[in-house]
Amino acid sequence: MRRVFQSGVNECMDKLKIPCVTSQLLVLKTLRLTMEMAQKLLVDDQNLKLIFLVRDPRGILVSREKVQYLSEVLRPDMEVEASLLCPKMARDLSRFEELRSKHPKRALLLRYEDAADNPRDVVHEIYNFVGACEKPLQWVTTACLALILFKLT
């Protein structure tokens, strides 16, 4: 079974490789990238643009409690978790502001809550920032409408 799955993944990756390397725009999502790492990447690649997505730490903590720490054994004390998360977020936000002052056209700050409340506006902002066309706006509208309808049923 594992061999069949791996074969399917390899076949999929092969099909994605050509469009990816020939595309004018490449997007990479990372989790927990520090601003020190981002600074090095911005210096190394002058074409790189950074979109820093931040979320209210309360939402992060609630999400972690629901998803990541389902087991009572693994669930840490919320105060301990917050004491680790909040200073890291404050440091990264401060360093992001430094990065943005050095690279104003290459660094964009987005709030998760804004994306959730106004996805069309945020997609428009992202596409303007990276200099891409806005064809996906229709997709965003359709996807959001489908999600709303799904929640209502």
101 vs 146, higher pLDDT: 101
Helix (H, G, I), strand (E, B) or coil at 52: strand
DSSP-assigned states of every residue in 62-111: HHIIIIIT-STTT---HHHHHHHHHHHHHHHHHHHHHHHHH-TTTEEEEE
* pLDDT beyond 50 at 70: no
17 vs 71, higher pLDDT: 17
* pLDDT beyond 90 at 26: no
pTM of the model: 0.72
**Where do we find the tokens 């004491």?**
83
Within 10 Å of residue 53's Cβ, how many Cβ atoms? 14
Among the listed residues 125, 119, 124, 126, the one whose alpha carbon sits nearest the alpha carbon of residue 140: 119
Among the listed residues 34, 54, 60, 57, the one whose alpha carbon sits nearest the alpha carbon of residue 109: 54
pLDDT band at 30 (very low <50, low <70, confident <90, very high): confident
Within 10 Å of residue 137's Cβ, how many Cβ atoms? 15
Give the whole-angstrom CA distance, residue 46 versus residue 48: 6
Domains of the chain, residue spans: 26-117
pLDDT tens-digit series, residues 102-137 = 999 999 999 999 999 998 889 889 988 988 876 666
- When the pLDDT of each residue in the chain is averaged and rounded to a whole number, the result is 80
Average pLDDT, integer, range 29-49: 89
Average pLDDT, integer, range 5-26: 70
The pLDDT, as a whole number, for residue 46 is 93
Within 10 Å of residue 11's Cβ, how many Cβ atoms? 10
* pLDDT beyond 60 at 73: no
